[in-house]
Amino acid sequence: MVAFLRLALRRVAMMPVMILGIALLVFVVLQFSPADPAYNALGDSASPEARAAFAEENGLNDPLPVRYFAFLGDLLRGDLGVTVAPSQPVVDRIATAFPLTLQLTLLGLSLAIVLALVFGVTSAVHRDRWPDQVFRVLSMIGIALPSFWLGVLLIQQFALNMPILPTGGYVNPADSFSGWLESLALPAVALALPVASSLARLIRTSMVAELDRDYVRTARGSGLPPFMIIRSVLRNSLITPLTVLGVKVGYMLSGAVVIEAIFDLPGMGKLILEGVNGGDVGLVQGTVLTIAIAFLVVNVVVDLLYLLVNPRIRTV
């Protein structure tokens, strides 16, 4: 337990350093944006003098390091600036949009884990037989399908040809849980299938290797029930897929941004598109930074879960 706490504290202590690096990267990249904050804020009719005054007032003429440290100071205070039009705090816009992106990501992740376990375990238990062949083919197809293209196919099939689910839009779960589930069903499936297919192949490969170990043959010879053997084998086989899960969750967070645009969901994807189309650098900066930090937090949580599942690494 002491070794686990020491490693956990080491992971957590690295987070502020990584957040500073993320903030620096996001800030520097967006400084090369062709969008002019003064032009976007004041409009076409603003005079050059007004734009120059706006730039001076908001520190746009300061050197890049000065602007970066000013940005960090605002970030530590929870201030990400205001949007161009209408003028609203970026933090408030993110606080409204991020919960939807998080809901979609968690729903897609839950579905992906369930499908991956079903496909992966079934393939491993029926190795080289027809269930294994079928699920391996389905997994390869699922990996090859881009989420955004799959989302378009799902809309065409289940919202237009067979109108059983909505084409888009969002229903708050406080208003109607069934409506919320229907509004996120197709986006979650589009987000989950590629990830589920990839994880299923990893689980299948890990379980096949584990099933060939001596302790499994000994357990079978001792007459241990098959479900108990599979449970033990599955637990030992999840170490490798768990290391990939953090990256997959990050993929789902970024993929949710694209899926939201396809299904007209008012999440982080809509904010990014709004900021890009409107030349609102502050809005894009705030949303990208939020998603990047969320990705970092998820990876730290997965690292801690990995330490719990694999006690051997605690001695490193």
Per-residue pLDDT, 49: 75
Per-residue pLDDT, 261: 85
Query: 87 φ, ψ to 5°?
Result: -75, 105
- DSSP 8-state symbol, 77: T
* Positions of E strands within the chain: none
Give the tokens for residue 52.
């120059």
CA distances from 21 to 26, 140, 280, 293 (A): 9, 36, 22, 11
- Please name the residue ranges forming H helices in 157-221: 177-211, 214-221
Per-residue pLDDT of the chain (316 residues), as tens digits, is: 666 677 778 777 888 888 888 888 888 887 777 666 766 666 666 677 777 777 777 777 778 788 888 888 888 888 887 777 667 888 888 999 999 998 999 999 999 999 999 999 999 888 888 888 898 888 888 888 888 889 999 999 998 888 888 888 888 888 889 999 999 999 999 999 999 999 999 999 888 888 888 888 888 888 888 888 888 888 888 877 877 877 788 778 878 888 988 898 988 888 888 887 777 778 888 888 888 888 888 877 777 777 776 655 555 4
Give the Cα separation of 293 and 95 in Å (integer). Answer: 14
Reported as type and span, the H/E element at residue 55 is: helix 48-57
Per-residue pLDDT, 42: 66
Number of H helices, E strands in the chain: 14, 0
- Reported as a single tens digit per residue, the pLDDT across 180-215 is 999 999 999 999 999 999 999 999 988 888 888 888
Per-residue pLDDT, 234: 83
Listed residue (183, 148, 146) closest to 164, CA to CA: 183
- Reported as a single tens digit per residue, the pLDDT across 65-99 is 888 888 888 888 888 877 776 678 888 889 999 99
- The pTM of the full predicted model, rounded to 2 decimals, is 0.83
Q: Is the dihedral of CA 196, 198, 199, 201 positive or negative?
A: positive
Per-residue pLDDT, 43: 64
How distant is the alpha carbon of residue 117 from its chain centre? Answer: 20
